[in-house]
Amino acid sequence: MQIILDWLNQPLFSALGGTLSVVEVFGFATGLLAVWLTACRNIWNFPIGIANGALLFALFFDARLFADAALQILFIILGLAGWWFWLTGGVSKRKTIRASSPIEHLWTVLSVVILVGVLYAILTWLKGSIPIFDALITALSIVAQWLLNRKILETWLLWIATDIISIPVYLYKELYLIALLYMVFLVLACRGYQLWRREMLFGQAHKVPRAALAAE
């Protein structure tokens, strides 16, 4: 494994007064592509996103950012689950975009709060540099990915919040290319919300009532 990590983290070229590694460049490229494919509701966002998670795991593990590295493993697992759900529709066979219900709103908030509390305690015990922000980013990302897997519109609102918090955090950690990536993520997340909302409203406007179908 160390041989792979060494190869991925070797310098590829110099730019912006610094050196960019193989994993940074390919992580940047796959990250952009995955988010754009997600905004377009293209199922290929999942395999590209899984590759991005593997690359960022190598980057963060080498930088000893273990919380960020662990998050990428979770993203890979959730990405595999999301890929299956989009292929099959899951148990409910739901394939359309929808907004979350009031109960789902409540569970979303509670999930984020509980995850932040648990992760903050763990990261503080591990003596993380900025545990509260790492915990918040991780919690928001986990819940956002779950909503994405279910094709729930509010996933983009959580991704927007995640990106806003992540940008200064990665600047502080001197991961400048990753910070730039999250700036682009923020723009794409805003665009993704617009596209998904437009498609959801279009689907609602053209949905044929079940009663009308039964009468035919």
Query: Confidence band (pLDDT; 50, 70, 90) for 24?
Result: confident
Domain extent for 163: 2-90+98-215
> Helix (H, G, I), strand (E, B), or coil: what is residue 17?
coil
Q: What is the rounded distance in angstroms from the CA atom of residue 44 to the CA atom of residue 98?
A: 20
Distances (CA, A) of 130 to 6, 116, 134, 175: 26, 13, 6, 15
Q: Report d(CA 142, CA 136) in Å as an integer.
A: 10
Average pLDDT over residues 18-29: 77
State both tokens at 82: 């999301």
Phi, psi of 21 (to 5 degrees): -90, 170
Number of domains in the chain: 1
| Mean pLDDT on 35-50 | 90
Residue pLDDT, tens place only, 83-119:
998 888 654 445 688 999 999 999 999 999 999 999 9
Averaged confidence pLDDT in the chain: 82
More confident residue, 4 or 60: 60
Q: Which two tokens stand for residue 192?
A: 């993704």
Q: Given this model, what pLDDT does residue 56 score?
A: 87
pLDDT at 168 (0 to 100): 94
Residues 6 or more apart whose CB falls under 8 angstroms from that of 126 comprise 66, 67
Q: pLDDT at position 67, please?
A: 72
Does the structure show a pLDDT above 70 at 12? no
Please write the tens of the pLDDT for every residue from 117-163: 999 998 888 777 788 998 999 899 999 989 988 889 999 999 999 99
Farthest CA pair distance, the chain? 69
- At 156-213, the pLDDT tens digits run 999 999 999 999 988 888 778 788 889 999 999 999 999 999 989 987 776 645 444 3
In Å, how far from its chain's centre is CA 216?
43
Q: HSE on the CB side for 182, CA within 13 Å?
A: 20
In this prediction, residue 28 carries a pLDDT of 85
pTM for the model stands at 0.78
Residues 6+ away with beta carbon under 8 Å from 187? none
Q: Which long-range contacts (CB under 8 A, 24 or more apart) does 185-188 make?
A: 185/31, 185/35, 185/159, 186/160, 188/32, 188/35, 188/36, 188/39
Q: Over the range 19-32, which residues count as b (16 or more CB within 10 Å of their CB) and which as e?
A: ebbbbbebbbebbb
pLDDT for position 216: 38
